[in-house]
A and B are shown apart, each in its own frame.
Chain A
Amino acid sequence: MTTVFKKTPVLTDTVMHYCPGCGHGIVHRLVAEVIEELGIQDRTIGFVPVGCAVFGYKYFAVDCVEAAHGRAPAAATGCKRVNPNNVVFTYQGDGDLASIGAAEIVHAAHRGEKITTIFINNAIYGMTGGQMAPTTLVGQKTTTSPYGRDPEHCGKPLRVAEMIATIEGAAYVERVSVDSVPNIIKAKAAIKKAFQCQLDGKGFALVEVLSSCPTNWGKSPAEAMDWIKSDMIPYYPLGVKKDRTNE
């Protein structure tokens, strides 16, 4: 028998605390598989956020730092500058990166820090109980927008990948999704390219991953994946937003 697929050793054996069907588990695995394939496990340092992925350090079998809310890019900047031979990545959700940490991510990209950011966009605050995030879609019901997000009152959802792509220091920006197996395979390729961008010293790389939150969306795991396709992707188009890794 030859093995077609098995769990990567860069994920620990700890059972993840995520709800059934949560996209975080898929993205954790993709990041871990990329670290294994690039052979960088012994020199990778992860910076995990405040939010549902707060316990990421228990699941990645690499050294990790738990950063203050939204400040992972700032902490990662210091780590990378002191240890330029280490591979440094941040793993952040939309409440962490797009809201309280918006300044840190913009300026990390602006300075062209040679770090990799994996940004999980599930259009809601998961850990705190399903409040409206900057990425919540117009009309989407959350605990703090019970009648649906009103753009007159709250503005329209923030497209982070497009915003970061406008910044000179960003070398590689792509938006991917984990709603289907083909998209999961594309997401892994994007994450691998974002790590390679850092290994080649090209500059800041960000991959935005459209992910599901079945619990706070009030949907089954399968319905949540369908909702990414039907509602999220039309507003958050997939694809490469910036690529100067060949320059």
Chain B
Amino acid sequence: MVSKVTIDENRCKGCGLCVRACPKKIMQLSKTKLNEKGYHPAEVIDQGACIACASCARTCPDAVITVEKE
């Protein structure tokens, strides 16, 4: 299955709830990037392993995650 997780990085507050919720453990807070507000935004480290369950998006308090699948 091909899936795509898009994160609106500048709206992300780096709370990490998506990292906690992801069953495949493929999300992390960026170790290198800072966004406009100075937070480390969430990122997907292995898009190929994503099962498009949208757990990350459902737990995100700021609705910054969009999930699509083929």
Are the CB atoms of B63 and A25 closer together than 8 Å?
yes
Are the CB atoms of B61 and A18 closer together than 8 Å?
yes
Are the CB atoms of A4 and B52 closer together than 8 Å?
yes
Q: A229: shortest Cβ distance to chain B, in Å?
A: 12
Chain B positions within 8 Å of A2 at CB level: 68-70
Known contacts A16-B62, A181-B58, A185-B58; A4/B15 CB under 8 A: no
Chain A positions within 8 Å of B17 at CB level: 21, 221-222, 225
Q: B28: shortest Cβ distance to chain A, in Å?
A: 13
Are the CB atoms of A20 and B13 closer together than 8 Å?
yes
Chain A positions within 8 Å of B67 at CB level: 3-6
In terms of DSSP, what is the predominant structure of the interface of chain B? Answer: mixed
Q: B1: shortest Cβ distance to chain A, in Å?
A: 11
Chain B positions within 8 Å of A25 at CB level: 60-63
A40 within 8 A of B: no
Q: With A and B bound together, what is the CA distance between A221 and B39 in angstroms?
A: 14
Are the CB atoms of B21 and A6 closer together than 8 Å?
no
Are the CB atoms of B16 and A221 closer together than 8 Å?
yes
Q: A163-191 toward B: CB 8 Å interface, digit per residue (1/0)?
A: 00000000000000010110011000000
Chain B positions within 8 Å of A1 at CB level: 4, 68-70
Q: B14-31 toward A: CB 8 Å interface, digit per residue (1/0)?
A: 111101110000000000
- Tell me which of A5, A7, A16, A21 has the highest count of chain B C-beta atoms within 10 A of its own C-beta: A5
Q: With A and B bound together, what is the CA distance between A166 and B17 in angstroms?
A: 36
Are the CB atoms of B61 and A23 closer together than 8 Å?
yes
Known contacts A7-B66, A11-B63; A21/B21 CB under 8 A: no
Q: B16: shortest Cβ distance to chain A, in Å?
A: 6
Known contacts A220-B16, A221-B15, A225-B20; A26/B61 CB under 8 A: yes
Interface residues of B in 17-53 (CB under 8 A from A): 17, 19-21, 39, 52
12 A-B pairs whose Cβ atoms sit less than 8 Å apart in the complex: A4-B3, A4-B54, A5-B66, A7-B63, A15-B11, A16-B61, A16-B62, A18-B62, A181-B21, A221-B17, A221-B20, A222-B17
B-contacting residues of A (Cβ < 8 Å)?
Answer: 1-8, 11, 15-16, 18-26, 29, 178, 180-181, 184-185, 214, 220-222, 225
